[in-house]
Every structure is written in structure tokens, then in C-alpha cells.
Amino acid sequence: MHIISLSFDDGFIGSCLRIAEIYERFGLRACLNVLAAPEELVAEQYEWGTDRGDFTLWNELQARGHEIMPHGYQHANKAELPFAKARDLVLRCLDIFDEKLDGFARDRAVFNFPYNQSTPELEAWLPTVVRAFRTSGGGLNPLPHRGLTKLTTTGFGPENCEDHLDQQIEALLSQPEGWLIYNTHGLDDEGWGPIRGSYLEQLLARLSAIESVRVLPTAAALCGAL
């Protein structure tokens, strides 16, 4: 068994709509990690654009089967903040998801750290409020199992990350089993470390033809939806 989760961050409207449409062609569900308050982006995030979706769109895409997971309140780097401030931002994010995302359940949620930057204090605390969290540490993970709360990921940017993603998939498939969680953002020129829409189509077609591979969103894989 090889699981591949492409973890798309930041909630760019154009990219998310196209990602969802491409996944649906293959009968697959996309993994979209979005901000609770995109209107309050931290300053450096404006470089990547402000055309980010709201919960009307996220509920529509979730109803189509796609996974919508928290990526923070305003894309602040939690590793640069005091623990109390970082914890407050996580809780504010989750409160908004509780209120605005249909059926959101913290005990089945994966919190996806902005910049994939966490701290030991946050990593010790987060499993008390969500099912798991995603942070840096390399893309190859063990297969989902009870008690797994720390999911690690890799990515490449700010330019196109396709070559790096191909290398990571090759590394996964060279092993008897495993789970690759790969962090990308938008399509074509949107977001940090994007991939082309045409590449995503070709990649999903190739992966769908490999008997041992399952392409799954992270929370679905973790919660046993194989």
C-alpha cells in the first residue's frame, strides 16, 4: 500500500476550482487547506495574492466530496510567536471552522501549519484539540495508524515544484509501503511552488493506474477512509 496526499494550501479560488474539477474526473477527492480569515493575511502573504475563497465556496466543494481543512487564522508563522499567541490563533481558526464549515469535527481534523513551522509546545498541545497536525520533517510517513498525530510534509518553491514532486513519488514507490504527504499550493502561476494543471491531470492518470497507490486527502487517510 502506497498513499499519496497532495496537500494544497492557501485557498486560491481559481486554483481550487480547477483542482477540484481535475480530481473529480478521476473519481478522487482533493485536499484543500484554507484560512479562516483570509481578509486578515499577514503582510508577506500579500505577495501570493488575495484572491482566496470563503466558506460559501468551501462548503460547496466539501459537498462535492473534497476535504477542507484548517490552515490557520491569518497565515502567521507559529514558530515565531509566543506559545500563548500561537495557541490563540489556532483556537480562533478552529472556532470559525466550527461556525462556518458544515459538519466540521475537530476530532477528525488535521491542522496544517502555515509555512509548515511548529514548535514542541504546539505539537504537544494540538493533539488535545484536533486529530492530527501537519508540519515540516520530510514527506514520507508511515501508513496511517491509531496514535499517529504528527504528519510531516515536504515541498519545493517558490518556482514550479513538479520535478521535486516526481522525485518524492519515486522515493515512496521504491519502498514496500508508505505515505507521501506533499505540500503544494496553486496551479500554473498561482501560489508558492505551484504545479501546472496539465501536469496534475497527467499525474493523477498515472497514479490511478498503479495498483498499490491510493490518492487520498490527509484526514480521510488518517481516519481510515481507505
We report the CATH number of the domain holding residue 129 as 3.20.20.370
pLDDT band at 197 (very low <50, low <70, confident <90, very high): very high
pTM score of the predicted model: 0.94
pLDDT value at 63 more than 70 = yes
Reference 188, options 12, 35, 68; nearest CA is 12
| CA 153 distance to own-chain centroid | 9
Which three-class secondary structure string do you get for the chain?
CEEEEEEEECCEHHHHHHHHHHHHHCCCCCEEEECCCHHHCCHHHHHHCCCECCHHHHHHHHHCCCEEEECCCCCCCHHHCCHHHHHHHHHHHHHHHHHHCCCCCHHHCEEECHHHCCCHHHHHHHHHCCCEEEEECCCEECCCCCCCCEEEEECCCCCCCHHHHHHHHHHHHCCCCEEEEEEECCECCCCCCCECHHHHHHHHHHHHCCCCEEECCHHHHHCCCC
pLDDT confidence of residue 48? 58
* pLDDT, tens only, 79-100: 999 999 999 999 999 999 999 9
Average pLDDT over residues 18-35: 97
Average pLDDT over residues 43-52: 65
pLDDT confidence of residue 226? 41
pLDDT value at 127 more than 60 = yes
Those residues with Cβ within 8 angstroms of residue 84's Cβ, 6 or more apart along the chain or in another chain: none
Indicate the number of domains in the chain: 1
* Domain that residue 173 falls in: 2-222
**Residue 63 and residue 29: Cα distance in Å, rounded?**
11
